[in-house]
């Protein structure tokens, strides 16, 4: 597995990252040379409208797509040098995914849904059950372990998705519009939970189109037409932002 020396405080580094889609005779550049560093323990927002390259960047950060050129260093690992097997392994162990639509398995219990990434990581059964119980308790749903998603509210489903994302102790959490399908109060509750995880040291990258969320982030990255805009800024969030 390809590794390289890297500043220990930097968890994600992108250097001249480009993505071009080839459609017949047409070349469609989507990302046009992204340079970005994300430090451990930060809460980062990636903002952009439809067509800005936001979804493509999310897929590359999540190792669901590969760049056409450039470099992606994750926790000291040169991602572009990994083969498919290593990509799947690193994706499972280094990245926790939180999706807008929860992506829970309807036929599995809360406990089993939280266990899924640990099953792929070949964790033993007794460890999976103990870890699932701990994480369900952490998100306030320890009493719901035997329930199925159809028996939960939308906010509870997202809490379980967050618990699942933490199951393998990932290097960072990648959240794709995690409050997009929730009402205002429930969205606020989920953001508070995400802030609590960040306060405990979790690195969180949230992709959103909603500029109203900017105050929540330590670092704001704005994408426009495949580039990071010059008015991207760094702020320093605090717990009062979630009130």
pLDDT tens-digit series, residues 92-140: 999 999 998 999 999 999 999 999 999 999 999 999 999 999 999 999 9
Closest CA to 44 of 12, 86, 3: 12
HSE-up of residue 209 (Cα within 13 Å, Cβ side): 9
Q: How far apart are CA 217 and CA 214, in angstroms?
A: 6
**Residue ranges of the chain with per-residue pLDDT less than 70:** 1-7, 230-243
Structural domains for the chain: 41-65+91-242 (3.40.50.300)
Q: Residue 17's pLDDT is what? A: 96
Model confidence, pTM: 0.87
Q: How far apart are CA 28 and CA 19, in angstroms?
A: 9
**181: Cβ–Cβ under 8 A, 6 or more apart, which residues?**
100, 101, 154
Strand partners, 233: 220
Which phi-psi region, left, alpha or beta, contains residue 63 (left: φ > 0; alpha: ψ -120 to 50)?
A: left
Helix (H) or strand (E) holding 23: strand 10-23
Total length of the chain: 243
Q: Which two tokens stand for residue 220?
A: 């704001």
Q: What count of other Cβ atoms lies within 10 Å of the Cβ of residue 29?
A: 14
Q: Residue 2's pLDDT is what? A: 44
Q: How far apart are CA 121 and CA 117, in angstroms?
A: 6
CA distances from 233 to 29, 58, 59, 151, 223 (A): 25, 19, 23, 41, 12
**DSSP 8-state secondary structure symbol assigned to residue 100:** T
**137: Cβ–Cβ under 8 A, 6 or more apart, which residues?**
none
């Amino acid at each position: 597995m390809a590794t390289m020396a890297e500043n220990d405080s930097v968890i994600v580094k992108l250097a001249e990252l480009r993505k071009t889609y080839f459609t017949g005779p047409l070349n469609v550049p989507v990302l046009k040379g992204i340079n970005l560093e994300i430090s451990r323990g930060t809460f980062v927002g990636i903002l952009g409208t439809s067509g800005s390259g936001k979804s493509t960047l999310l897929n590359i950060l999540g190792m669901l797509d590969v760049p056409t050129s450039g470099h992606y260093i994750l926790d000291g690992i040169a991602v572009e040098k990994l083969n498919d097997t290593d990509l799947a392994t690193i994706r499972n162990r280094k990245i926790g995914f939180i999706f807008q639509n929860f992506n829970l398995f309807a036929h599995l219990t809360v406990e089993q849904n939280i266990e899924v990434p640990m099953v792929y990581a070949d964790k033993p059964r007794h460890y999976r059950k103990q870890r699932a119980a701990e994480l369900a308790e952490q998100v306030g749903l320890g009493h719901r372990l035997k329930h199925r998603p159809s028996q939960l509210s939308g906010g509870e489903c997202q809490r379980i998705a967050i618990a699942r994302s933490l199951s393998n102790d990932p290097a960072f959490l990648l959240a794709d519009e995690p409050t997009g399908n929730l009402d205002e109060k429930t969205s606020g509750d989920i953001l508070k939970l995400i802030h609590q995880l960040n306060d405990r040291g979790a690195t969180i990258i949230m992709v959103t189109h909603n500029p109203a969320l900017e105050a929540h982030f330590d670092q704001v990255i704005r994408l426009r037409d495949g580039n990071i805009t010059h008015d991207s800024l760094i702020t320093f969030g605090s717990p009062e932002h979630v009130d």
